[in-house]
């Protein structure tokens, strides 16, 4: 439930009037009522709970436009630094998917929730106020329940597939990428039932979703696209995340993943395309023509030794957002990595600026879901971070956006407010017991690791 709050004497940093370069900085008070920013002005007086913003920077809450909470934890650190040349330099088929399949197979609901809770705790602690999440199978309803319990804003979708489990590859480089017989209408109806269940929820929304194009039939794409259109739902789809995905699509259809989605009417203003590491100029032309949303996961790409084409999307005037993908759900790390990686793409240190990363993780995320999030204006959702500027690393303090992107750490975020509710205060997350969820998640993960050892995945 939202609270009425008054933030006094804070330095506010935001975009305004939808201006890409229109950054507004001012000393002000912020009044929050009924989950919205009710007033931004000096010397506001109100009897509600007051937060002293002196020496703090108020910024819009961060929007993670492609999160995979369970994947970020069950395969954490295992795949990094491993030679995966025979698998297209991606750990997806040999480590990430096998660990997800094991988790979904052997863990009960409470054990799965304990791992999801660790991810959600990290998201809140590091300043994420909205997660655009993709889940696999029975993970989704558990995730939605937890977000509702915590008060964490989310749009969450399944990765519906024409398969019974995520595709894997063995130690000899053989891929299991065949489509299987599934009850397509049944899984689509299940997805639609979740969309309907949460349609009036102010914080938690279920959306339509698909797996990557190499895991889905054209008939499933068409069914999901039709239902997304009819329900006016966001449609989340990972695309061009691996070379293998592109190769399979070329073999199967003679088309790129983006072309297959376009052919089956899955691209629209409400389509969020996640990953997009291996994206061509023609792919971007199609995405632009359909006004679809691009979600770039730079950290994931760089761990796979690839620079995502972030700058190309900006040049092509495509609304481009930032996601964490299968990597750490900490958006502060993603912001810094995105700003640095963008400079490397064309060897121009000015090509990707701190303001580009800031925009992509705030205003662009709000635009992607047609919601008034990602900026601090009256009548916008009260999703706000307060950054404590007392840390010596911030001083001399001259350029707030650059300080935010290049220097801010999780410990610098003193308050996190979502929909007017304090989820973090005084540097402490209020909605979960850290020691308890760490203990429970470690116990659950030990079962996963043991099974992985038994079958030779670890």
Establish how many alpha carbons lie within 13 A of residue 61's alpha carbon, considering only the half-sphere containing its beta carbon. 33
Is residue 314 reached through a cis peptide bond, with omega within 30 degrees of 0 on the bond before it?
no
Can you tell me the mean pLDDT for 184-192? 98
Tell which residue, 160, 168, 163, has the closest CA to residue 139.
160
Would you place residue 1 in the very low, low, confident or very high pLDDT band (cuts 50, 70, 90)?
A: low
Would you place residue 374 in the very low, low, confident or very high pLDDT band (cuts 50, 70, 90)?
A: very high
437/419 Cα distance (integer angstroms): 24
Which tokens go with 392?
A: 């010596």
Is residue 226 reached through a cis peptide bond, with omega within 30 degrees of 0 on the bond before it?
no
- When comparing pLDDT for 17 and 412, which is higher? 412
Q: What does pLDDT average to over the chain?
A: 94
Asked if the domains 5-60+382-429 and 62-367 are classified in one and the same CATH topology, the answer is: no
Domain map (residue ranges) of the chain: 5-60+382-429, 62-367
Strands 175-176 and 168-169: antiparallel
Residue pLDDT, tens place only, 146-171 = 999 999 999 999 999 999 999 999 88
Question: Among all chains, which residue has been given the structure tokens 């993960």?
Answer: 445
**For 5-60+382-429, CATH number?**
2.30.40.10
| H helices present in 320-388, as ranges | 331-346, 354-360, 363-368
Q: What is the pLDDT of residue 22?
A: 57
204/151 Cα distance (integer angstroms): 8
Q: Report the DSSP beta bridge partners of residue 429.
A: 424
Strands 36-41 and 23-33: antiparallel
Q: Does residue 342 carry a pLDDT above 80?
A: yes
Please calculate the CA angle 277-278-283 and round it to the nearest 5 degrees.
110
**Helix 109-125 × helix 139-150 angle, to 10°:** 50
Q: What is the pLDDT of residue 80?
A: 83
Tell which residue, 314, 136, 332, 338, has the closest CA to residue 236.
136
Please calculate the CA angle 306-308-88 and round it to the nearest 5 degrees.
35
Residue pLDDT, tens place only, 267-278 = 999 999 999 999
- pTM of the full predicted structure? 0.95
Q: Does residue 226 carry a pLDDT above 70?
A: yes
Residue pLDDT, tens place only, 33-79 = 999 999 999 999 999 999 999 999 999 999 999 999 999 999 888 87
Which stretch of 129-143, 185-199, 339-353 has the lowest confidence by average pLDDT? 339-353
258/282 Cα distance (integer angstroms): 9
Pick the CATH number of 62-367 from 2.10.260.10, 3.40.718.10, 3.40.50.300, 3.20.20.140: 3.20.20.140
Can you tell me the mean pLDDT for 285-308? 94
Q: Is the dihedral of CA 127, 129, 130, 135 positive or negative?
A: positive
Q: Does residue 17 carry a pLDDT above 80?
A: no
299/246 Cα distance (integer angstroms): 20
Which tokens go with 407?
A: 């220097």
């Amino acid at each position: 439930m939202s609270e009425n709050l008054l933030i006094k004497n804070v330095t506010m940093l935001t975009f305004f009037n939808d201006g890409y370069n229109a950054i507004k900085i001012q000393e002000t008070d912020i009044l929050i009522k009924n989950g919205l920013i009710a007033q931004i002005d000096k010397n506001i007086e109100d009897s509600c709970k007051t937060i002293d913003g002196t020496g703090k920077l108020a910024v819009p809450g961060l929007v993670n436009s492609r999160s995979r909470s369970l994947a970020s934890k069950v395969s954490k650190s295992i795949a990094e630094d491993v030679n995966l040349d025979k698998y297209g330099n991606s750990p997806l088929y040999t480590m990430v998917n096998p660990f997800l399949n094991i988790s979904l197979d052997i863990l009960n609901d409470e054990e799965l929730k304990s791992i999801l809770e660790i991810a959600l705790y990290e998201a809140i602690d590091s300043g994420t106020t909205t997660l655009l999440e993709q889940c696999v199978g029975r993970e989704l309803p558990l995730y939605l329940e937890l977000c509702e319990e915590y008060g964490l804003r989310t749009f969450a979708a399944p990765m519906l597939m024409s398969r019974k489990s995520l595709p894997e590859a063995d130690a000899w480089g053989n891929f299991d990428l065949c489509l299987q017989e599934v009850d397509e209408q049944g899984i689509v109806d299940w997805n639609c039932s979740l969309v309907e269940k949460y349609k009036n929820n102010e914080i938690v929304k279920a959306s339509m979703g698909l797996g990557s194009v190499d895991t889905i039939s054209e008939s499933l794409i068409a069914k999901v696209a039709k239902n997304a259109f009819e329900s006016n739902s966001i449609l989340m789809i990972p695309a061009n995340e691996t070379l293998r995905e592109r190769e399979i699509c070329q073999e199967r259809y003679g088309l790129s993943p983006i072309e297959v989605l376009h052919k089956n009417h899955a691209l629209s203003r409400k389509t969020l395309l996640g990953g997009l590491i291996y994206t061509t100029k023609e792919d971007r032309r199609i995405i632009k023509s359909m006004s679809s949303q691009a979600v770039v996961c730079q950290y994931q790409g760089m761990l796979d030794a690839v620079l995502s084409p972030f700058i190309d999307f900006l040049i092509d005037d495509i609304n481009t957002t930032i996601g964490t993908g299968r990597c750490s759900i900490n958006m502060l790390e993603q912001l810094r990595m995105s700003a640095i990686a963008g400079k490397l793409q064309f060897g121009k240190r000015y090509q990707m600026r701190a303001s580009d990363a800031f925009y992509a993780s705030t205003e662009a995320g709000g635009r992607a879901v047609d919601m008034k999030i990602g900026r601090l204006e009256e009548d916008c959702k009260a999703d706000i971070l307060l950054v404590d500027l007392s840390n010596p690393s911030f001083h001399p303090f001259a350029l707030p956006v650059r300080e935010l992107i290049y220097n801010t750490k999780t410990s610098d975020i003193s308050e996190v407010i979502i929909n007017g509710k304090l989820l973090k205060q005084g540097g402490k997350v209020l909605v979960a017991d850290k020691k308890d969820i760490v203990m429970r998640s470690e116990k659950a993960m030990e079962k996963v690791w043991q099974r992985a050892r038994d079958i030779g995945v670890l």
